[in-house]
Amino acid sequence: QQAGPMTRTVVGWISESLNPLSGQRGPIAQPVPFPVPALYRVRLQEGAVIRSDVELSSLQIGHAPMGSVLTIVGRAFSEHPTDQCIERLQLAGGGGWVSVRLNLPPPSDDLVVELVGIDGAFDPDEPGIFHLDSQQRVMFEYHEPNPSVGESVDENVSNISSSSSPNRALRRLSTG
């Protein structure tokens, strides 16, 4: 009999990369994608800023208004600010990243999104079709002409003027 790989569940924290002060650099562990895409609803009045990468300094590529339901396929933490890494969620189809909470000290670090369930459109027997469809939706949304591009939204501010219009809005508003 051939034994399979041994696994053990450990609860706690690890570093994702080696500390450069140790004289070594490189990854130790990488976050894995969600086994099944999750659905998160935007609950912040100002909506959710969508950025091109995990870091808050990356380019703002869109905006999801309050009530939008986002399909999420991964999770990571920003490296900056160094004193407080920010939990970030990756949108399906390469659609960018959103923060779970505002980048403000407690108690002002309001939730931006909340988990509402798993995506019923995902077929575990054919995951490639789901991801291709997601990529096509994202490409369509970002190539759609939008003549009313407004000011960018600052994730560090909880009160945003209603006059600032979003660059792009995700239009999926139901989980059905």
Looking at domain 29-143, its CATH class is: mainly beta
- Closest to 63 (Cα-Cα) out of 176, 169, 171, 172: 169
Q: Tens place of pLDDT for every residue, the chain, 176 residues?
A: 666 677 788 788 777 777 767 777 777 877 676 778 999 999 999 999 999 999 999 999 999 999 999 999 999 888 887 777 899 999 999 889 999 999 999 999 999 999 999 988 888 888 888 888 888 888 887 777 653 233 334 444 333 333 333 333 343 333 33
- Closest to 39 (Cα-Cα) out of 64, 13, 16, 11: 64
Domain boundaries, given as residue ranges, for the chain? 29-143
pTM exceeds 0.85: no
User: What number of CA atoms fall less than 13 Å from residue 101's CA on the CB side?
Assistant: 14
